[in-house]
A and B are shown apart, each in its own frame.
Chain A
């Protein structure tokens, strides 16, 4: 019997053959932890009796959830993060460097075939690079920081076979929202999602990262893709470490194989307050909005900013709308600066935030909406209270839909602005 990517990867790291359903102890290649956890993983590490990291080169601390250091309490927490990194000699990404889920792939820390954990639920993002990566709590992270190992239940896999190419004005975000709406918020709980097909091959790495990022919104443990020529090209210059991509065998056993033809897909919107409350944009058109966010580890990469800028360039956002822009990382911000993308966004009225989790995580203290406000965002969650105010209403959409809606002051169809 053949094996899935998930079975092979966990098997490789456990040092034995594994099949879905088994529980294994596996060697972890990389651990990421963020400033947003309470308690911090480094505090639990101490509580557990941890003295030294099993390997400081395999552990990164990222200050991204509250990079603007909004309160003294937060500032003191960030101080602990910096002290720990200094003492242990581990990797530290300082405030302003960007969101963990952009930094780990961008800086070559996570490579095809790797097993990676992070103390943020969207750690599944690296599945786009053929990495088995999953979100964990601080206790699991701390235990791994000490031992280099963690136990995993080998998940069953749902395979999404995505046929056809996305039409103009329809993007990776629309595709993943459509899939989540179709399988629901717990449709893949305890399982791995595997995305294959022409639709995925045609996407850029930025688009693929958007899709894997949201695997957890259908409950999945990982959102896996195969590594192709695009992946290998994208990785060039980012690492010297050898790696080994993994594919599912032709006779692998999937718990479900779901086929979609995406060639007729339209822009999608997730309505408040559920990520799986997804409708075609036609059903949400005209809903007045007061805030538009191009932010978060889902959709604030260069391609996303570029698409938004192409719609907003030479125009002004609607006077009743605040447009927040938070680039995924400093390199993304710098490249957007060089290409005139930031200029276009700022001239259109955009408000620029510190690279990181601003206007998505409620702990960021950036872009908090008022009571009764309707917010359209490129982020991955529209839970009530997500951006620190339970009286606001959040809609999820692609950067193009958010940009078009910012111009019109209401939810709009981006396709009329896309050539």
Chain B
């Protein structure tokens, strides 16, 4: 899978309230409507600057805080193709894969705002087209790759009716 777009930079410890504040859920249940408020508390203009396929690029502990799956869902619905970060909070990481949003753990240190990036998930590489550099991606566990290939956990269940993961030895 080859993804291409521009980098939008954020810092360390971007939390789920930053990504999507919980106050919006009182006025709508429509995820697409909610995606207009992505990063609303920290950068209200952010959604207007996104071109389809762009990336969020962040530091460590991205997605810390609540278990709200709304967070990766609105990132995906806003048109972003992946999140690149030095590290992810655990629940966000799982939720992102479950909704089919690629999460790319890599050294994001050399990436600047607006850099053109190409993410090659199969090769495990991020190429910075603006700077002519590339960094390696920490590989996803096999189970997550299986889920991502199916398009997320809902699609996996629609297809199989239950968990059907080749990479897990169920020991029975």
Which residues of A does B touch, CB under 8 Å?
14-16, 23-25, 36-39, 44, 47-50, 66, 70-71, 73-74, 76-77, 118-121, 123, 135-140, 142-143, 146-147, 149, 151, 153, 185-186, 189-190, 216, 219, 221, 274, 361-363, 365, 381, 383-386, 388, 390
Is there a chain A Cβ closer than 8 Å to B122's Cβ?
A: no
* A121 close to B157 (CB less than 8 A): no
In the complex, which residues 12-65 of chain B have their Cβ closer than 8 Å to any Cβ of chain A?
13, 15, 17-18, 21-23, 25-29, 31, 34, 41-42, 60-61, 64-65
Indicate whether B99 reaches chain A with its CB closer than 8 angstroms. Answer: yes
- Give Cα A362–Cα B68 distance, bound, in whole angstroms: 13
Q: Is the CB of A147 within 8 A of B31?
A: no
The stretch of B113-121, B129-137, B161-169 in contact with A is: B161-169
Decide: A119 near B26, CB < 8 A? Known: A49-B158, A137-B94: no
Report how far A138 CA is from B15 CA in the complex, Å: 18
- Whether B87 contacts A136 by the Cβ 8 Å rule is no
9 contacts between A and B (CB under 8 A): A37-B69, A38-B70, A39-B31, A123-B67, A139-B98, A139-B99, A363-B22, A381-B17, A385-B21
Distance in angstroms from A306 CB to nearest chain B CB is 29
B108 lies within 8 A of chain A by Cβ: no
Do residues B22 and A361 form an inter-chain contact, with CB atoms below 8 A?
yes
Contact of A384 (CB < 8 Å), options: B17, B26, B165: B17
Cα(A44)–Cα(B69), bound, Å: 11
Judge whether B21 and A390 touch: CB under 8 Å: yes
Q: Which A residue's beta carbon lies closest to that of B99?
A: A139
Q: Are A39 and B171 in contact (CB under 8 A)?
A: no
The interface residues of chain B lying within 8 Å CB-to-CB of A363 are 22-23, 25-26
In the bound assembly, the distance between CA atoms of A383 and B25 in angstroms comes to 18
**A383 and B15 in contact (CB under 8 A), knowing A38-B70, A151-B163, A363-B22?**
yes
Known contacts: A186-B13, A383-B18. The answer to whether A73 contacts B28 by CB under 8 A is yes
B31 shortest CB reach to chain A, Å:
7
A151 to B145: give the CA distance in the assembly, Å. 14
Contact between A383 and B68, CB atoms less than 8 A apart: no
* B152 nearest CB across to chain A (Å): 7
A102 to B172 Cα, complex, angstroms: 36
Complex contacts, B65 vs chain A, CB 8 Å: 121, 381, 383
Indicate the size class of the contact surface on chain B.
35 or more
Q: For A140, what are the chain B residues with a Cβ–Cβ distance below 8 Å? A: 94-95, 98, 153
Partner of A189, one of B61, B98, B167: B61
Would A388 and B29 count as touching, CB distance under 8 A?
no
A361 to B65, CA, bound (A): 12
Q: Bound complex: CA of A189 vs CA of B171, how far in Å?
A: 27
Chain A to chain B: the 6 pairs with minimum beta-carbon distance, closest first: A137-B69, A16-B171, A137-B95, A139-B98, A48-B157, A186-B61
- Interchain CA distance A343-B87 in the complex, whole Å: 48
Quick one: given A139-B69, A383-B65, are A38 and B171 in contact (CB under 8 Å)? no
Tell whether B141 is near chain A: CB-to-CB under 8 Å: yes
**Which secondary structure characterizes the binding site on chain A?**
loop
Q: Is the CB of A119 within 8 A of B67?
A: yes
Is the pair A25, B168 in contact by a Cβ cutoff of 8 Å?
yes
B29 touches A143 (CB 8 A): no
Q: Contacts A15-B172, A140-B98, A143-B157: A121 and B22 contacting too (C-beta < 8 A)?
A: no
A70 lies within 8 A of B26 (CB):
yes
Contacts of B170 in A (CB 8 A): 14-15, 25
Whether A189 and B18, one on each chain, are in contact in the complex, defined by CB atoms closer than 8 angstroms, is no
Q: Known contacts A361-B22, A390-B21: does B13 contact A190 (CB below 8 Å)?
A: no
| B92 closest partner in A (C-beta) | A137
Tell me the complex Cα distance, A172–B13, Å. Answer: 25
A15-B172, A38-B70, A48-B154 are known contacts. Are A186 and B21 too (CB-CB below 8 A)? no
With A16-B171, A49-B157 in contact, do A38 and B25 touch (Cβ < 8 Å)?
yes
Q: When A74-B26, A381-B65 are in contact, do A151 and B168 touch as well, CB less than 8 Å?
A: yes
Q: Are A77 and B21 in contact (CB under 8 A)?
A: no
- Flag if B89 contacts A189 (CB, 8 Å): yes
Known contacts A24-B168, A25-B165, A119-B67, A388 near B91 by CB under 8 Å: no
Closest to B97 in A: A139
The smallest C-beta distance from B155 to any residue of chain A, in angstroms, reads 9
In the complex, which residue of chain A has the Cβ closest to the Cβ of B155?
A48
Closest to A14 in B: B171
Q: How far is the CB of A367 from chain B (nearest CB, A)?
A: 13
B67 with A149: CB separation less than 8 A = no
Q: A23-B143, A362-B22, A365-B26 are in contact. List 10 more A-B contacts (CB 8 A).
A: A25-B165, A37-B70, A38-B25, A118-B67, A142-B157, A186-B60, A274-B13, A362-B23, A383-B15, A385-B23
| Contact indicator A23/B25 (Cβ below 8 Å) | no
CA distance A151 to B68 in the complex (A): 19
- Would you call B67 and A49 a contact (CB within 8 A)? no
Judge whether A146 and B162 touch: CB under 8 Å: yes
Task: Report the minimal beta-carbon distance from B37 to chain A, rounded to whole angstroms.
Answer: 11
Q: How far is the CA of A151 from the CA of B98 in the complex (A)?
A: 12
Indicate the member of B34, B67, B170 with the most A CB atoms within 10 Å.
B67
